[in-house]
Amino acid sequence: MRSLAGDILFIDLTERRVWREAVKKDDILNYLGGRGINSRYLWHLADAGIDPLGPDNPLIFGTGLLTGTAAPSSGRTTVTCKSPATNWYLKTSGGGHFGGEMKAAGYGHIIVLGIASEPVYIWIDDDKVEIRDAKAFWGMDVRQVDGAIKAQLGDDEVQLATIGPAGENKVLFASVMFSVYNAAGRGGAGAVMGSKNLKAIAVRGSGAVAAAKPVLYHELAMEAHQSVLADSGAEGMHLYGTAGSLNGVNEVRALASYNFQRSHLDDVHTITGQYLSEAGYLKRAVACYGCVVGCHRYSKIDQGPLAGTFTGGPEYENFVALGSGCGTLDTEAIIKANELCNILGMDTISAGSVIQWGMESYEKGVINRNDLDGEELLWGDGQAIIDMLSKIAYREGFGDVLAGGVKRAAEKVGGDSYKWAVHAKGLEQSRVDTRSAKAYALAFAVNPRGADHLHTETFAEFGMSPEARELIERITGDEKYVTPYSSEKRAEIVRWHEDTYAVTDALGFCAFMTTAMYGITPKMMADLFSAAAGHDFSEEEIMLAGRRILTLEKSFNVREGALREHDTLPWRLMNEVNPDRPEPDAINSQEELDKMLDEYYQLHDWNRETSRPTRKTLELLNLSYVADELEEAGKLDPAG
Amino acid sequence: MSQRYILVNPEVCIGCKQCELVCSYEHEGVYSSALSRIRLVRFEAECLNVPVTCAYCEEPACEKVCPTGAMTVDPATGAARVIEAKCIGCKECIAACPIGAVDMNSRTGVAMRCDLCKGSPACVDICPTGALTFGFVNQTSRDKRRSRVLTLLFDEPEGRRA
């Protein structure tokens, strides 16, 4: 039988050497698994200042501690490295079935080091690990390479993590793709994989895992099933996916449209999950490993000029980034664009973001037809979006400029284009208008990986379900704080979600079950962990582990030179009032952000001037080795 | 047809694999797809998921070819039973099963086949979408008839029960 935590598989592509180590018990107690143990290894393996696309950037895959068990929705995989998009810390997580297979093969983590001299893939067949030639697969899209490697191995049921052409060409928002359509999309982990000449990791696992207290664990897992399915949002998520909430986000004036120039449109029905289903594009609801909700979509276009298009998705972010954000509500164009992002291996949020930035730059005359290889780039032109996605993945013409993300693209074309380059820390913002969502605003500003919701999903502030309203009341002590427009108590809301999210990722759970729906609570995670690891953890203790993970990630950025000034938001959102909600608070002003940051740093007991964690805080979290190293580098402040 | 079976409706299967996980737990005390008596067949590019398990054939090929009489059905309950002491691991049953529902147990070296969990299959209990049901064959055909006629007459979504 395999150990529940799995071993750590090291693969040095430069030396062509493979070895494995057991996960230390101490690391399980401090960092739990998945994202937590990944970040522990990133801290040790990645020195400050390394080139994210060079040989010294480790690419770390981690399954959750509970991945491979019957705990519901616990099959996610976290990919960790230094981001080539932001040059800061990156964790990006994906669903699909890769994590479950990896665990059955005996591994909790796979750490890829160095760079192969020519294209390779890694074949993990339980205990047997090979570095194989992948020259024949280089250039293939994600769907092609998935089929081709399965054919070469003679097994259609192996699980793959792959990159597409975007990763090969080091597009800075290239994704790592699991099970064809499940992306670890944000921050460019696919470009790091491409820089290593690593086309894929294929894994087959035939082993078994069990909890330390198997009977208790199984009972708790079965209770968790009931709890997940009892959440008021579960049925809607199954029927309509994440885009089922799109109308609601539009109503509260937070739907990022026309590159954040609009936050509400009259009628967005054709980009909702409800429409995807009723118009017949949705063919199947799909689950990730172990998930009993199944919010993932499988869509197909049967008729018309785009007939034959089929893909996983679209989800909320895809509809908004590739649709309303680019000024189109054309369902079919968005499905096609989603398919291209998936098979070319690119993050849909960033890909949509660079295109809408380009549309606005063209409209405002910062770029012209000459820059665009003689073409136009007009709002709402679905074909232009589709064409540009391929140009980005292959770095052709203006696509090469966009492949660097909006921050670099704005630096390149100049003028006022930085004002509508909607990013923070160099990561294109998720499609929530933070001028109408203040906990998101704070969360996006402090997120170690940039302006993004998948480190701290504060969906509860919208109050769209009874569970969400109850949660905000529990965190803040008063139901009056259930409003996305108030900046009060946002620090408390963000910190609860940070801790919970980190535990969620470390155990392998899907954040939708803990921080968008609430069927799996921190208490349940503590109990499951205790039964799994055979070591009793209270809710407080497991939340502290979450904070430890988050603080270590923050410290990674501090070691790289991060200061308070880096915890900021996109220029547009800080300087232009939300036009569809013309209230005085419909802006992320520096003053308001500063107030929330002060509260947030204070809550963490970090230095408010610099944002850096103090020695006291680090030592309370068993992170004295971090304090020592930061002190040596002159990056530890004398006192809180 | 008084016997109840595990009936599969792949139309609503989301491919969560919980059936495999609880099956292996129920029979082996561990979580392992490889030790499950029900297996999920997935076609990932098309996101197609179909669980496959013993169909309880009226004329079971696996029992017919078994040289030692290990592959049997308990006449009292109608549930399949592999008499482990008799199984010599010859794999004839695996070759003979036309739907791939028999597999080898890598821990014990004997054949394994769905035994309906003593009348309350764990996979059916856990199935979140009703893709697996435990019922009578005539019930399935009745439901199918009604659902299809309803769809034809009233243009109602397929699968809705009258």
Note whether A339 and A387 are within 8 A (CB). no
Nearest to B47 among A1, A100, A286 (CB): A286
Within this chain, do residues B68 and B47 fall inside the same structural domain, yes or no? no
CB contact under 8 A, B45 and A180: yes
Within this chain, do residues B4 and B20 fall inside the same structural domain, yes or no? yes
Distance from CA of A430 to the nearest CA of B (A): 26
- Could you tell me the two tokens for A233? 């949002």
Give the nearest chain B residue to A105 (CA atoms): B32
Range of the domain at B63: 54-113
Within this chain, do residues B37 and B81 fall inside the same structural domain, yes or no? no
Within this chain, do residues B101 and B133 fall inside the same structural domain, yes or no? no
Within this chain, do residues B76 and B107 fall inside the same structural domain, yes or no? yes
Helix (H, G, I), strand (E, B) or coil at B101: coil
Please state the length of chain A: 640
List CB contacts (< 8 A) between B51 and chain A: none
The domain that contains B91 carries what CATH number?
A: 3.30.70.20
pLDDT of residue A638 exceeding 90, the answer is: no
List CB contacts (< 8 A) between B31 and chain A: 68-70, 208-210
Taking the CA of residue B81 as centre, how many other CA atoms within 13 Å lie in the half-sphere pointing to its CB?
Answer: 14
Within this chain, do residues B48 and B122 fall inside the same structural domain, yes or no? yes
Within this chain, do residues B2 and B48 fall inside the same structural domain, yes or no? yes
- Distance CA(A390)–CA(A315), nearest Å, equals 20
What are the pLDDT digits (tens) for B103-142?
A: 999 999 999 999 999 999 999 999 999 999 999 888 888 8
Number of domains in chain B: 2
Q: Scan for tokens 């039964």, then name that residue.
A: A531
A448 contact B CB<8A: no
A64 contact B CB<8A: no
List CB contacts (< 8 A) between A285 and chain B: 14, 129
Distance from CA of B1 to the nearest CA of A (A): 32
A104 contact B CB<8A: yes
Note whether A276 and A297 are within 8 A (CB). yes
List CB contacts (< 8 A) between A141 and chain B: none
Give the least confident one: A108-122, A162-176, A508-522, B73-87.
Answer: B73-87
pTM, two decimal places: 0.97
Q: Which residues contact A374 (CB under 8 A, 6 or more apart)?
A: none
Within this chain, do residues B138 and B66 fall inside the same structural domain, yes or no? no
pLDDT of residue A625 exceeding 70, the answer is: yes
Note whether B48 and A284 are within 8 A (CB). yes
Nearest to A146 among B22, B29, B45 (CB): B45
Three-state SS letters, A440-505: HHHHHHHCCCCCCCCCCCCHHHHCCCHHHHHHHHHHHCCHHHCCCCCCCCHHHHHHHHHHHHHHHH
Q: Which helix (DSSP H) or strand (DSSP E) does residue A630 occupy?
A: helix A624-632
What's the mean pLDDT in A316-329? 98
Within this chain, do residues B120 and B46 fall inside the same structural domain, yes or no? yes
Q: Which helix (DSSP H) or strand (DSSP E) does residue A600 occupy?
A: helix A590-604
- For helices A539-559 and A34-45, angle between their N-to-C axes, nearest 10 degrees: 30
What are the pLDDT digits (tens) for A182-231?
A: 999 999 999 999 999 999 999 999 999 999 999 999 999 999 999 999 99
CB contact under 8 A, B44 and A100: no
Of the residues B113, B130, B154, the one at which a domain ends:
B113
- Could you tell me the two tokens for A258? 């026309």
Nearest to A292 among B18, B31, B32 (CB): B18
Task: Give the Å distances, CA to CA, from A270 to A41, A265, A278, A370, A584.
Answer: 44, 12, 10, 34, 31
Helical H runs in A309-424?
Answer: 316-322, 331-344, 348-363, 382-393, 399-402, 405-413
Note whether A79 and A176 are within 8 A (CB). yes
Within this chain, do residues B34 and B107 fall inside the same structural domain, yes or no? no
What's the mean pLDDT in B40-54? 97
Within this chain, do residues B6 and B36 fall inside the same structural domain, yes or no? yes
Within this chain, do residues B39 and B7 fall inside the same structural domain, yes or no? yes
Mean pLDDT rounded to a whole number for chain A: 97
Domains and CATH numbers, chain A: 7-204 (3.60.9.10), 238-428 (1.10.569.10), 437-518+538-632 (1.10.599.10)
CB contact under 8 A, A97 and B42: yes
Note whether A364 and A316 are within 8 A (CB). no
Distance from CA of A68 to the nearest CA of B (A): 7
ipTM for the predicted complex comes to: 0.95
What's the mean pLDDT in A480-496? 97
CB contact under 8 A, B31 and A208: yes
B120 contact A CB<8A: no
Please state the length of chain B: 162
